[in-house]
Structure 1
Amino acid sequence: MKITSAEFIISAVRPDQYPEDALPEIALAGRSNVGKSSLINRMILRKNLARTSSQPGKTQQLNYYKINEQIYFVDFPGYGYAKVSKTEREAWGRMIETFLKVREELKLVLLIVDIRHAPSKDDCLMYDWLKHYEIPICIVVTKADKIPKSKWDKQIKLVKETLQADPTDKVIMFSSELGLGREQLWDYILTETSD
């Protein structure tokens, strides 16, 4: 995919703030520090449009990025981070659930998990939620550069088993460092968003 334009649009917390131009939306969900911002930056070949942070739990809204005037990436707050108060966590949960239930423009959720660990309880909950709302999912397994290639298959199998993933769900291995999986992921996104 050739990127001609990419811009940050808005940090939304309520449905009345979501963009109204009806472009297809791809949401990114995953625990804090799993590499969502790095993935966005690699996908659009920009160093820091999506701000990465060493401080987990930094994203607290739905961050909208418009790509090529034809599609949005919507970056969800990372979940499962202990230093955020219970009240804040519940507010995020409600915000994300509302988005998943009402957003007709949402075409696909990238569920992002770290290849080095089995998916967390929160990852499994998010997966089950998406299945419940019948939202198409692509499981993106990031940080592939952090483990030897010889372990990739074993870790992918662990991810699928832990999530009890539907065999029809697409699984893509990704590395923001190496650019691994970028073309494959774009191909899949474009297939899912072309009506």
Structure 2
Amino acid sequence: MPLFRNARFEISIAKSGDLPVPVGAEIAFAGRSNAGKSSAINTLAEHTRLAYVSKTPGRTQLINFFRLDCGAALVDLPGYGYAKVPEAIRKQWVSLLETYLRQRENLIGLVLIMDSRHPLTPLDRQMLDWYLSGGRPVHCLLTKSDKLSRNEAAASLAKVRRELAPLGAQVSVQLFSSLKKIGMEEVEHKVAAWLGLPTDDLPAIPTAAELRAAGK
């Protein structure tokens, strides 16, 4: 059974002082505003409106906790980098994100969402700097890969992997498309490994040939 299916909303918080008492492992999802984070979460959970999707970047201002059937939590972090957000709110988001990423003791892995057409922006690199100091893994999703040709997507993936190679095995990267549901299985296997869960019951990761045959 897919790992993220049946995720259910638990709580939203706006300030680090309101973070709930840790219960189980937490997997955080972070990304620049309009990179496709909410769509990725909804696709993985097979739920059309689990995470709020807005045509106006910067609308997700809270940390949202969703509980998975395995007992772990999926934590949806505020999108970052949207210039039209008032400065006071932007500073609040920065403080909230940094506190959570650096100090949350049961945070075991970060899924970093980046638009495959514009990956590794300065703010994405800042997010990596905040998080990687703790020695925990990060898995990067290069979203909206359906908007690139197959060769362009492969080139984007290779470029990001090359630039992040000095960070070693702590960081991994894949292509993802919410529209065509590309990459769902790979994310699930990665997160299951972080959680120490068996992967036998998860959908198998399709081969490149299988993806081509399916028109993806």
- TM-score, reference length from structure 1: 0.91
Q: CA deviation at 1:21?
A: 5.5
* Structure 2: 5+ residue stretches without partners: 198-216
2:187 to 185, 188, 194: 185
Q: In structure 2, what is the equivalent of residue 44 of structure 1?
A: 45
The alignment status of 1:24 with 2:22, answered yes or no, reads no
1:29 and 1:109 in contact (8 A); partners too = yes
Give SS of 1:55's match.
coil
**CA distance in structure 2 between the aligned counterparts of 1:102 and 1:126, rounded to whole angstroms:** 14
Q: Larger Cα Rg: Structure 1 or Structure 2?
A: 2
Q: CA deviation at 1:47?
A: 1.0
Change (3 A) 1:125 1:15: closer
Give SS of 2:102's match.
helix
Give SS of 2:156's match.
helix
2:160 and 2:173 in contact (8 A); partners too = no
Change (3 A) 1:24 1:152: same
The alignment status of 1:9 with 2:3, answered yes or no, reads no
1:127 and 1:163 in contact (8 A); partners too = no
Change (3 A) 1:56 1:121: same
Q: In structure 1, what is the equivalent of residue 157 of structure 2?
A: 156
- Which residue identity does 1:149 align to in structure 2? R
Give SS of 1:51's match.
coil
1:130-188: CA deviation from partner (whole Å, max 9, x where unpaired): 12232321111111111111112211133345556624221121111111111110111
How many residues end up aligned between the 2 structures? 195
**CA distance in structure 2 between the aligned counterparts of 1:118 and 1:192, rounded to whole angstroms:** 24
Change (3 A) 1:155 1:165: farther
* Structure 1: 5+ residue stretches without partners: none
1:84-131: CA deviation from partner (whole Å, max 9, x where unpaired): 122211111111111122211101011111111132110111112212
1:47-82: CA deviation from partner (whole Å, max 9, x where unpaired): 111110001000111011112152211111111101
Change (3 A) 1:50 1:165: farther
Change (3 A) 1:69 1:12: farther
Change (3 A) 1:16 1:180: same
- Which residue identity does 1:7 align to in structure 2? R
Change (3 A) 1:10 1:173: same
Change (3 A) 1:165 1:64: farther
**CA distance in structure 1 between the aligned counterparts of 2:50 and 2:138, rounded to whole angstroms:** 24
Q: CA deviation at 1:15?
A: 4.2
